[in-house]
Amino acid sequence: MSNDPLANKAQAWSALFSEPMSELVKRYTASVDFDRRLWRADIAGSLAHAEMLAAQGVIGAQDLAGIRRGMAQITEEIESGRFEWKLELEDVHLNIEARLTALVGDAGKRLHTGRSRNDQVATDVRLWLRGEIDDLALHLAEMQRALVEQAAGHAETVMPGFTHMQVAQPVSFAHHLLAYVEMFARDAERLADLRRRVNRLPLGAAALAGTSYPLDRERVAAALGFEGVCQNSLDAVSDRDFALEFSAFAAICMVHVSRLAEEIVLWMSQNFGFINLADRYCTGSSIMPQKRNPDVAELARGKSGRVVGHLMALITLMKGQPLTYNKDNQEDKEPLFDTVDTLRDTLRIMAEMVGGIVVHADAMERAALRGYATATDLADYLVKKGLPFRDAHEAVAHAVKVALQQGVDLAELPLATLQGFHPAIGDDVFAVLTLRGSLNARNVLGGTAPAQVRAQIERHRARLAAA
Between 90 and 142, CB nearer to ligand ARG:
90
Q: Are 232 and 184 in contact (CB under 8 A)?
A: no
Active site residue 269: no
Among candidates 165, 128, 400, 187, which has minimal Cα distance to 267?
Answer: 165
Q: Are 277 and 356 in contact (CB under 8 A)?
A: yes
CA atoms within 13 A on the CB side of 341: 9
Between 39 and 325, CB nearer to ligand ARG:
325
Q: How far is the CB of 123 from ligand ARG (least distance, A)?
A: 11
Point out which residues bind ligand ARG (CB under 6 A).
Answer: 31, 35, 91, 117-118, 121, 325, 327, 329-330
Q: How far is the CB of 29 from ligand ARG (least distance, A)?
A: 8
The neighbour count for residue 282, using CB atoms within 10 Å, is 17
Alpha-carbon Rg for the chain, nearest whole angstrom, is 31
Q: How far is the CB of 205 from ligand ARG (least distance, A)?
A: 12
- Active-site option among 80, 164, 212, 286: 164
CA gap 78, 65 in Å, rounded: 20
Among candidates 116, 130, 246, which has minimal Cα distance to 187?
Answer: 246
Between 35 and 239, CB nearer to ligand ARG:
35
CA gap 80, 93 in Å, rounded: 19
- Active-site option among 285, 286, 398, 460: 285
Q: How far is the CB of 327 from ligand ARG (least distance, A)?
A: 6
Between 157 and 330, CB nearer to ligand ARG:
330
Among candidates 121, 288, 280, which has minimal Cα distance to 205?
Answer: 121
The neighbour count for residue 188, using CB atoms within 10 Å, is 22
Between 199 and 330, CB nearer to ligand ARG:
330
Q: How far is the CB of 294 from ligand ARG (least distance, A)?
A: 39
Between 329 and 434, CB nearer to ligand ARG:
329
Between 208 and 424, CB nearer to ligand ARG:
208
Q: What angle do CA 307, 308, 309 make, to 5 degrees?
A: 85
Between 120 and 150, CB nearer to ligand ARG:
120
Q: How far is the CB of 96 from ligand ARG (least distance, A)?
A: 12
Active site residue 164: yes
In sequence order, which residues have a C-beta less than 8 Å from that of residue 94 and are 6 or more positions away?
Answer: 6, 12, 117
Quick one: angle between helices 117-152 and 450-466, nearest 10?
140
Among candidates 269, 344, 355, 249, which has minimal Cα distance to 300?
Answer: 344
Beta bridge partners of 201: 229
Beta bridge partners of 171: 159
Q: How far is the CB of 159 from ligand ARG (least distance, A)?
A: 50
Q: What angle do CA 352, 174, 303 make, to 5 degrees?
A: 40
Q: How far is the CB of 109 from ligand ARG (least distance, A)?
A: 18
Among candidates 53, 51, 42, 138, which has minimal Cα distance to 99?
Answer: 42
CA gap 188, 194 in Å, rounded: 10
Three-class DSSP category at 291: coil
Three-class DSSP category at 359: strand
The set of catalytic residues is 164, 285
